[in-house]
Structures are given as C-alpha cells and as structure tokens.
C-alpha cells in the first residue's frame, strides 16, 4: 500500500495527458482507427517491455545494498571498475549527468501533473480557462510551503488515495472498453509494429509523446531502498499495470466512438457529471506524485553532498521515526522557483510535454548504460549476455530520446539547461575540493613525524580531550598548529577525527569506527559512513566506548579549521569557475553543524587556501 502511494504517483498520473499529447496537431498524426490501435498498442507494450521487463525485472536487481536510484547505481558501477580504470571518470560523469537530469525531471513532474489535473476545469466550462495557471501556482506554492512540516502526517493517506485513483482508472477503462471492445486488438504487438512500419517519420515523431506513458519508471528504482523489491513488484503487477493498461485501452475505446473527445479524453470518459469529482481526485493524485519527486530530490541532494558533488547544506529531519524523511530549505525554494517558471512560462501541459520527454528518456538511457557495467563487471556475466541484457533496452531508449530530441527548440531545452547548470555546479565543486586538497597536501606535515618531534620537548598538557577534524591523507591539522602557536598547550588526550564517505549507501555501526593508537595519548579515529548514513559525530563517539575509548562530552573540545578559499589567476580552474566555487564554499554549511557537533564544544580556527 505504501509503495503504491509513493512509488507510482508519477506514472499513475500519465493518463491525464499522454493521449491528447500524442495526437496534438503539431505531431501531424491523424486520429483514425488504424493509428489509434497502433498508439494504444505501443503504450501497452511499452509498459510491458520498459517498465515490467527492464525496470521491475532487470534493474531492480541492481541494488546497492538494498538501495536504488541513479546515485546508488553510479556508485555500484564505479565500484565495479577500479579507480585506475579508464572507465572510472567517464562513468562518474555519466552518473552525474543522469542525476542532474533527474533534477530536471523533478521540476517538470509537479508542473505538468498539477497543471494537467487542473486543466480538467476547462473541460467542465471554458470560463475557467484563464484561472488554470493561477490556480496551479497557488496549489504548488502551498505544496512547497508545507514541506518543512514533513509528510509523516499526510503520508499515511497516500496509499489509500492512490488505491482509489488506480481503482477509478481501471473502472473507467472497463466501462469504455465494453462500449467498443474492438480496441482489444491493440493487445496484439503486431499493431504497434505495423503502425511504426506504415507511418515511419510521423510515427518516429509520435514516439516523443508516447514516452509520456512511462514517466515515473525511474522512481520505482529510486524508491527501492524505502520499500524493497517485493512490494514494488507486487504493487506494479497486481494494481498499477492492470489499471494503467485498462485506462489507456478505455481512452482508446472512447476515441473510436467519439474522436472529438481528443481535446481531453481523460476527463470525458464518464460524461460531464464526472468532471468535477475527477478534477478533485486528479489534483490530489498529482500532488502525491509531486511529493514523491520532491522527497526524491531531497534524498538525492543529501547523497550528492555525502559523495562530494555539492557543498554541505542544512538538512532538517522531519520525522523522529524515519531517518529518510528530510527537508532541505535551499533546495525546496530553488525547486519551487524553477517549477513556477515552468508553469508560467509554458502555460499548458501540452507545451510542457516536450520538456518532460527529453528529461525522462535521457535518464533512461543513462540508467541502461550504467546497468551494463554492473552486469558485465560486478555480476561477471560474459560480454554477449551483458550486451543482450541491456543492448535491446538501449536501442529502445535511444529511439525515444532521438524522437524527443526533435523537440529541443520547443521546450526540450528547459531540462537540458537545468541539467547543464547543475552538472557545471557539481563538477566545479568536486574539482574545487580536489584543488583545495592538492594545496593542503603540498604544505602537509606528516602527522607521526610531527608527534615524535613535538614530544621530544612536550608542551604543557591540560585536562580534557581535544578532537581535531582531519581530512583523509592530510598531515597535521591546521587547527592543531594554530592552537599550539597561540595557546602553547595540548590537551591530555588528543584525537584526530577523519570521516570517510564510502561508495555504498549504509555502513553497519559495527564497521563504522576504527581507532589507531599513535602513542602519547594521541589517537587516529577513522569513521566510515555510507552516502545515506546520517553524519552524527556524538553518536559515532558513543560507539568508540566499545573500542576502549570513552568520551565525556562536557570535557571534550572540537577544534575545526575553517578554510577561506582564495582564487588565484593562471592556475586551477577557469576564473569564473573558481569564483563560483569560492561563493559556494563561503555559503556552505559549517562542518560542526553538518556533523551535529554541539556548538558549545566547538572552537573554529581560520586558515586560507589558494586555488
């Protein structure tokens, strides 16, 4: 029930706009019985091949310790090849590209879902047409405003409401199929192949709209960690797929009987009496679909921060029971701004459809390519079998993507522009951090040598524990050098803390902590966290008691070096990228806040780093 409510909201609202977009005038496809049977057959068999076989059967197997989604798949693919492999960097770029396209998808989904639901008012009465966009804007603003409260309270209703939604889709489909049962001929895949063969170019163009029936397929993989494979598969085969197939067949029956209903076949399936109830139910379903993509954006951002592709941001947990329910204020308001630009700029679901298709299809082929590397190098299948498992789906993905590429100048540029901006931001942040690391490495003093030299004439030791945050493979922390230089003392126990984010979603608590005794009451504490683990240093320190290192928080001080990055010409990145990185660095969330260290136990010492 929960999987139906969260996972399938996006694909579940596709019947609102798919068929009317396919037969839109700009596509040049004539609405006649032959073409209609071909399109319905393409949609039904697309649901079978792309969603049922590719995603539900194959890609759900590619789990990263139970987690799914483009970031988890990228980590899985990267761990399948060595860091010295020539494939490592291209795979990272490919995964990053797919992740940025997901952001584009997550902007368009709320816009097109809510807009297409509210457009039902136009069907009821043309007088409402001027109010469709303003009403959509109001609904979206309310949706994003309540994000800070979390979804724990209303989330329990998502499953029952979406069950009602899919039940309604199925019932409407059956009623209309009974009126024109000849639509069932579309279940024969030959209808789809014949349509493609006889229409060629026009059919190719139509593919760009047919793909709208499969939007949201990526979500069922991304949400695998929340629900597991079995509930997602059961929900699809028992409820979602039958309901969608019946409704598309039902809309086809309606169009066979009355082609004039192509203006909005979804809302005319039961007659005028049903329009207002359907608008209400559709709007609620669209809001639920939007909520799933918003929550997915928060989760992906948190993963990107952990993997070093985005600066640290404020992450608020909205549920005491479920750690996955988070809210990121900066992302929330930036996404709302982008969604409102899409709604107001495009003005209708028909105009948004072109933008939607290219984001979906590009994400699909990126997923397929990454899956090939998992099948070939992680599962160790032979090359022929790996090609067979993914090559067929790649051809389908590229066909859909090529069809949507024709619409780049008609709205397809929007998600590509969003993706390009985010891709640049992520690469700039990652490269900037590498330059900072390289600079620190040049001036690094080996820690063990320094300690030996220091304790030949030891400084005054004062009571308590000092914890110095230290980067991976860093030398002596700058905060320690500054403390010795200015305060001339050293705590009686010194701990060097290094947090390592590994390319897996979770690390069991028993494997998170490793302590190395450096002598002189000095210790190196290495903490391994997955990219979905919660970075909570006080909780990690509590685990150290099992390893013989106890911490009393009121006697422990955390020394953190706050880096001020300075851009210098003629080295590193292009100047505009360096300034972008410096701006992000200055506005990034502080390490103490990000790692949930008590603020009254933190001492920050500044240091300048040139890039």
Residue 320 has pLDDT above 60, yes or no: no
Residue 323 has pLDDT above 60, yes or no: no
Q: What percent of the chain has pLDDT over 70?
A: 98
| Statement to judge: residues 140 and 32 lie in one domain | yes
| Statement to judge: residues 375 and 505 lie in one domain | no
Residue 495 has pLDDT above 90, yes or no: yes
Please state, in angstroms and as integers, the Cα–Cα distance from residue 350 to each residue in 24, 292, 434, following that order.
8, 22, 44
Domain boundary (370, 390, 411) is at: 411
| Statement to judge: residues 23 and 90 lie in one domain | yes
Helix axes 413-442, 575-587, angle to 10 degrees: 80
Residue 416 lies in a domain: no
Whether 411 contacts 355, CB under 8 Å: yes
Largest CA distance in the chain: 95
The reported pLDDT for the residue numbered 151 is: 64
Q: What is the mean pLDDT of residues 318-325?
A: 61
Write out the two tokens for 221.
Answer: 């993989």
Task: State how far the Cα of 591 lies from the Cα of 588, in Å rounded to an integer.
Answer: 9
Counting Cβ atoms within 10 Å, is residue 606 exposed (0-12), middle (13-18) or buried (19+)? exposed
Task: State how far the Cα of 33 lies from the Cα of 14, in Å rounded to an integer.
Answer: 22
The reported pLDDT for the residue numbered 60 is: 87
Q: What is the mean pLDDT of residues 94-117?
A: 88
Q: What is the mean pLDDT of residues 325-339?
A: 91
Per-residue pLDDT reduced to its tens digit, 138-194: 999 999 998 887 765 566 788 899 999 999 999 999 999 999 999 999 999 999 999
The reported pLDDT for the residue numbered 154 is: 63
Residue 424 lies in a domain: no
The reported pLDDT for the residue numbered 319 is: 64
Domain boundary (395, 411, 427) is at: 411
Write out the two tokens for 230.
Answer: 């079995």
Residue 430 lies in a domain: no
Q: Which of 414, 328, 408, 352 is nearest to 109 (CA)?
A: 352
Domain boundary (411, 426, 456) is at: 411
Task: State how far the Cα of 93 lies from the Cα of 259, in Å rounded to an integer.
Answer: 46
CB atoms within 10 A of CB 134: 12
The reported pLDDT for the residue numbered 153 is: 59
Whether 278 contacts 247, CB under 8 Å: no
Least confident of 101-110, 137-146, 215-224, 394-403: 215-224
Write out the two tokens for 597.
Answer: 């260290």
193's CB contacts (< 8 A; 6+ apart) are none
The reported pLDDT for the residue numbered 322 is: 55
Write out the two tokens for 156.
Answer: 């329990």
Continuous H helices in 455-536: 478-487
| Statement to judge: residues 350 and 446 lie in one domain | no
CB atoms within 10 A of CB 149: 11
Q: Which residue has the higher pLDDT, 71 or 366?
A: 366
Question: Coil, strand, or helix at residue 595?
Answer: coil
Specify the CATH number for the domain of residue 344.
1.20.1740.10
Residue 64 has pLDDT above 80, yes or no: no
The reported pLDDT for the residue numbered 321 is: 57
Task: State how far the Cα of 24 lies from the Cα of 215, in Å rounded to an integer.
Answer: 19
What are the backbone dihedrals phi and psi of residue 316, each rounded to the nearest 5 degrees, phi first?
-110, 130
> How sure is the predictor about 119, in pLDDT bands with cuts at 50, 70 and 90?
confident
pTM of whole model > 0.85?
no
Residue 431 lies in a domain: no
Q: Which of 22, 18, 42 is nearest to 31 (CA)?
A: 22
| Distinct helix (H) and strand (E) counts, the chain | 26, 8
Residue corresponding to tokens 């919660």: 534
| Statement to judge: residues 407 and 444 lie in one domain | no
Per-residue pLDDT reduced to its tens digit, 3-55: 888 788 888 999 998 999 999 888 788 999 999 999 999 999 999 999 999 99
Counting Cβ atoms within 10 Å, is residue 412 exposed (0-12), middle (13-18) or buried (19+)? buried
Write out the two tokens for 100.
Answer: 């940025």
Least confident of 112-116, 120-124, 129-133: 120-124
Per-residue pLDDT reduced to its tens digit, 565-579: 888 877 778 889 988
Q: Which of 222, 272, 276 is nearest to 9 (CA)?
A: 222
Q: Which of 343, 362, 341 is nearest to 404 (CA)?
A: 362
Q: Which of 276, 281, 227, 258 is nearest to 113 (CA)?
A: 281
Q: What is the mean pLDDT of residues 489-496?
A: 92
Domain of residue 299, residue span:
2-411
Residue 43 lies in a domain: yes
Q: What percent of the chain has pLDDT over 90?
A: 37
Q: Which of 207, 262, 146 is nearest to 396 (CA)?
A: 207
Task: State how far the Cα of 295 lies from the Cα of 292, in Å rounded to an integer.
Answer: 5
Question: Coil, strand, or helix at residue 414?
Answer: helix
Residue 423 lies in a domain: no
Number of separate domains in the chain:
2
Q: Which of 180, 204, 202 is nearest to 254 (CA)?
A: 180
Question: Coil, strand, or helix at residue 517?
Answer: strand
Please state, in angstroms and as integers, the Cα–Cα distance from residue 182 to each residue in 54, 185, 250, 267, following that order.
29, 6, 11, 22
| Statement to judge: residues 24 and 168 lie in one domain | yes
Task: State how far the Cα of 27 lies from the Cα of 211, in Å rounded to an integer.
Answer: 14
Continuous H helices in 307-412: 329-346, 349-373, 383-405
Residue 425 lies in a domain: no
Residue 116 has pLDDT above 80, yes or no: yes
| Statement to judge: residues 445 and 386 lie in one domain | no
Residue 427 lies in a domain: no
Whether 482 contacts 492, CB under 8 Å: no
| Statement to judge: residues 397 and 507 lie in one domain | no
Residue 71 host element (H or E)? helix 70-80
| Statement to judge: residues 396 and 494 lie in one domain | no
The reported pLDDT for the residue numbered 162 is: 92
Q: Which residue has the higher pLDDT, 326 or 248?
A: 248
| Statement to judge: residues 477 and 374 lie in one domain | no
Q: What is the mean pLDDT of residues 556-573?
A: 83
The reported pLDDT for the residue numbered 426 is: 94
Q: Which of 196, 210, 200, 208 is nearest to 404 (CA)?
A: 208
Write out the two tokens for 174.
Answer: 């059956």
Complete DSSP assignment for 171-226: HHHHHHHHH-GGGGGGGSHHHHHHHHHHHTHHHHHHHHHHGGGGTTHHHHHHTHHH
Spacing of C-alpha 258 from chain mean position:
41
Mean per-residue pLDDT of the chain: 88
| Statement to judge: residues 465 and 541 lie in one domain | yes
- Backbone dihedral region for residue 29 (phi beyond 0: left; psi -120 to 50: alpha; all else: beta): beta
Residue 431 has pLDDT above 80, yes or no: yes
β-pairing, 316-317 vs 326-327, is antiparallel
Q: 282: which DSSP letter?
A: H
115-129, 367-381, 558-572, range with greatest mean pLDDT? 367-381
Q: What is the mean pLDDT of residues 360-367?
A: 89
Continuous H helices in 457-521: 478-487
Planar angle of CA 267, 272, 277, nearest 5 degrees: 65
| Statement to judge: residues 210 and 272 lie in one domain | yes
The reported pLDDT for the residue numbered 266 is: 92
The reported pLDDT for the residue numbered 178 is: 96
């Amino acid at each position: 029930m929960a999987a139906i409510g969260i996972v399938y909201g996006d694909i579940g609202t596709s019947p609102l706009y798919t068929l009317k977009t396919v037969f839109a005038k700009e596509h040049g496809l004539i609405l006649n019985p032959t073409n209609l049977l071909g399109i319905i057959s393409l949609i039904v068999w697309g649901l079978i091949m792309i969603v049922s076989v590719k995603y539900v059967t194959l890609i759900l197997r590619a789990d990263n310790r139970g987690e799914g989604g483009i970031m988890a798949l990228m980590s899985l693919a990267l761990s399948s090849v060595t860091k010295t492999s020539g494939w490592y960097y291209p795979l990272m770029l490919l995964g990053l590209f797919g992740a940025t396209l997901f952001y584009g998808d997550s902007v368009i989904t709320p816009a097109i879902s809510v807009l297409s639901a509210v457009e039902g008012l136009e069907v009821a009465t043309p007088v409402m047409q001027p109010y469709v966009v303003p009403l959509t804007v109001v609904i979206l603003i309310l949706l994003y405003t309540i994000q800070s409260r979390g979804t724990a309270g209303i989330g329990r209703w998502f499953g029952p409401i979406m069950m009602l939604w899919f039940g309604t889709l199925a019932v409407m489909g059956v009623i209309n199929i009974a009126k024109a049962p000849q639509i069932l001929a579309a279940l024969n895949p030959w209808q789809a192949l014949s349509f493609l063969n006889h229409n060629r170019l026009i059919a190719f163009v139509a593919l760009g709209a047919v793909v709208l029936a499969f939007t949201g397929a990526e979500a069922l993989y991304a949400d695998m960690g929340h629900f597991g494979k079995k509930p997602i598969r059961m929900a699809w085969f028992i409820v979602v797929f039958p309901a969608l197939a019946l409704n598309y067949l039902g809309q086809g029956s309606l169009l066979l009987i009355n082609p004039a209903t192509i203006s909005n076949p979804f809302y005319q399936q039961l007659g005028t009496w049903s329009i207002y109830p359907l608008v209400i139910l559709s709007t609620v379903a669209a809001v639920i679909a939007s909520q799933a993509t918003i929550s997915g954006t928060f989760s992906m951002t948190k993963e990107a921060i952990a993997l070093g592709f985005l600066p640290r941001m404020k992450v608020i947990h909205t549920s005491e029971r479920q750690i996955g329910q988070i809210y990121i204020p900066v992302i929330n308001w930036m996404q709302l701004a982008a969604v409102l630009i899409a709604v107001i700029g495009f003005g209708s679901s028909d105009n948004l459809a072109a933008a939607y298709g290219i984001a979906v299809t590009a994400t699909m082929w990126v997923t397929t390519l990454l899956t090939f590397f998992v099948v070939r190098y992680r599962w160790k299948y032979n090359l022929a079998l790996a090609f067979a498992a993914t090559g067929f789906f790649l051809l389908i993905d590229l066909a859909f993507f090529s069809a949507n590429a024709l619409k780049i100048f008609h709205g397809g540029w929007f998600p590509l522009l969003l993706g390009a901006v985010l891709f640049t931001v992520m690469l700039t942040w990652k490269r900037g951090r590498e330059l900072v690391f390289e600079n620190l490495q040049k001036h690094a003093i080996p820690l063990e040598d320094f300690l030996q030299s220091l304790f030949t004439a030891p400084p005054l030791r004062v009571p308590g524990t000092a914890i110095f945050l230290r980067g991976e493979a860093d030398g002596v922390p700058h905060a320690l050098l500054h403390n010795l230089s200015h305060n001339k003392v050293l705590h009686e126990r010194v701990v060097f803390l290094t947090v390592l984010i590994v390319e897996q979603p979770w690390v069991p608590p028993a494997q998170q902590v490793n302590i190395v005794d450096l002598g002189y009451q000095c210790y190196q504490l290495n903490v391994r966290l997955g990219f979905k683990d919660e970075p909570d240093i006080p909780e990690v320190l509590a685990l150290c008691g099992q390893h013989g290192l106890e911490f009393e928080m009121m006697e422990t001080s955390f020394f953190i070096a706050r880096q001020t990055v300075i851009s210098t010409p003629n080295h590193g990145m292009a100047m505009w990228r360096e300034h972008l990185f410096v701006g992000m660095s200055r506005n990034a969330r502080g390490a103490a806040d990000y790692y949930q260290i008590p603020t009254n136990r933190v001492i920050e010492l500044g240091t300048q780093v040139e890039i």
